[in-house]
C-alpha cells in the first residue's frame, strides 16, 4: 500500500456521495474509489441477512482496488454488517458511520436526550441506541434515545425535492414523535438526510443540533500514508447503468462526475 492508494468508499447507491463530499473537503488530495450498488439499492428495507451478503461482496470489490482504508458510507451496512466488512478487509482499517456519530452526540447533548433517524433496517437494528448506551455507560452518563425510520426522505432527496412543500409535510409527519420527546440532538443516520438538512432543521427548531454522520466519520480518517497529489483522479463504480448515478450524484457531490464505470456481479442461484 502506498500514499497513492485510494480511499475505498461504498454505499448501497448514490447517497454515499454525501460522505465523499465530506471526505474530500477534509482530504482534498486523496484519491477515492467509490462503489455504489445501484442495481440492488435500497438496502434499508432489506433483511439483515441480505445486507450482510451484499456488504461482503461490496467489500471484496473494493479490495480489488487495494484501498488504504475503507469507509462504509452506508448507515444500514454500518448498522448491521460492519463486522462483516472488517473481517473481509482484514488488515485494512474500516470506518463505519455509527460510532463517530454517537461520540459526537454524547459530546454535544446537554439533556442526554438524543434522536436518531435512519432507514427501517438501521432503526430496527438499534445499532445507534446500543452504541450510545455503551459509550454513555463508559463515560458514566445517562442517555435516552428516540428513533424513527424515515424512508421517504431517500426518494425526496434523489428527486431534488429537498426544499419542497412535500418534503416539509413528510418531515413534520416523521419528526413529530422526536420533537415530542424533547431531544436536543438529532443524528442524521442515513446517507441522504444531509441533503434535507435545511428542512429537518426548520422542523426540529433552532435549539436541536443535527449531526451529519458522514461529516463526523470523515474527521476520524487518520491516514498513515497521505497522498499529496494536487488533482487526484477519483473512480466511481456502479452496479446499474451510470446515467442516473451521474445526474443525481453531481447534485449530491456538487462537482462534475467523470470516470463512472458499471460493474456486474456474476453470481449463480442456489436454493437456501
Ligand atoms: N445508503 C442507505 C443508508 O445510509 C440509504 C439508502 C438505502 O436504503 O439503501 O442507510
Ligand 1, residue 44: give the atom nearest the CA: 8
Nearest ligand 1 atom to alpha carbon 76: 10
Kindly state the percentage of the chain with pLDDT values over 70.
99
Q: What is the pLDDT of residue 222?
A: 79
Active site residue 150: no
| The pLDDT of residue 195 | 98
ω before 92 within 30° of 0 (cis)?
no
Catalytic member of 71, 74, 171, 208? 74
* pLDDT digit string, tens, across residues 123-169: 999 999 999 999 999 987 899 999 999 999 999 999 999 999 999 99
Q: Which residues fall within 8 angstroms of residue 110, CB to CB, at 6 or more apart?
A: 184
pTM of the model: 0.96
Q: Torsion-angle region of residue 5: left (phi > 0), alpha (psi -120 to 50) or beta?
A: beta
Residue showing cell 450524484: 249
pLDDT in tens, 7-62: 999 999 999 999 999 999 999 999 999 999 999 999 999 999 999 999 999 999 99
Q: How far is the CA of 7 from the centre of ligand 1 (A)?
A: 20
Does residue 77 carry a pLDDT above 90?
yes
Amino acid at each position: 500500500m502506498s500514499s497513492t492508494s485510494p480511499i475505498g468508499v461504498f454505499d448501497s447507491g448514490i447517497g454515499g456521495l454525501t460522505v465523499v463530499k465530506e471526505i474530500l473537503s477534509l482530504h482534498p488530495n486523496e484519491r477515492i474509489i467509490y462503489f455504489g450498488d445501484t442495481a440492488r439499492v435500497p438496502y434499508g428495507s432489506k433483511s439483515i441477512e441480505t445486507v450482510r451478503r451484499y456488504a461482503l461482496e461490496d467489500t471484496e470489490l473494493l479490495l480489488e482496488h487495494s484501498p488504504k482504508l475503507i469507509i462504509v458510507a452506508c448507515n444500514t451496512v454500518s448498522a448491521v454488517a460492519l463486522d462483516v466488512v472488517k473481517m473481509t478487509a482484514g488488515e485494512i482499517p474500516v470506518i463505519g458511520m455509527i460510532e463517530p456519530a454517537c461520540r459526537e452526540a454524547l459530546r454535544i447533548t446537554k439533556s442526554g436526550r438524543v434522536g436518531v433517524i435512519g432507514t427501517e433496517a438501521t432503526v430496527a437494528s438499534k445499532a445507534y441506541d446500543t452504541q450510545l448506551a455503551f459509550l454513555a455507560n463508559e463515560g458514566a452518563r445517562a442517555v435516552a434515545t428516540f428513533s424513527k425510520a424515515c424512508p421517504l426522505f431517500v426518494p425526496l432527496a434523489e428527486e431534488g425535492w429537498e426544499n419542497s412543500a412535500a418534503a416539509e409535510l413528510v418531515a413534520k409527519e416523521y419528526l413529530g414523535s422526536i420533537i415530542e420527546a424533547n431531544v436536543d440532538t438529532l443524528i442524521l443516520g442515513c446517507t441522504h438526510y444531509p441533503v434535507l438538512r435545511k428542512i429537518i432543521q426548520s422542523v426540529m427548531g433552532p435549539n436541536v443540533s443535527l449531526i451529519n454522520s458522514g461529516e463526523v466519520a470523515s474527521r476520524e480518517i487518520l491516514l498513515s500514508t497521505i497522498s499529496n497529489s494536487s488533482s487526484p483522479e477519483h473512480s466511481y463504480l456502479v452496479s446499474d447503468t451510470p446515467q442516473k448515478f451521474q445526474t443525481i450524484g453531481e447534485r449530491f457531490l456538487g462537482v462534475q462526475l467523470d470516470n463512472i464505470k458499471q460493474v456486474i456481479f456474476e453470481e449463480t442461484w442456489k436454493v437456501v
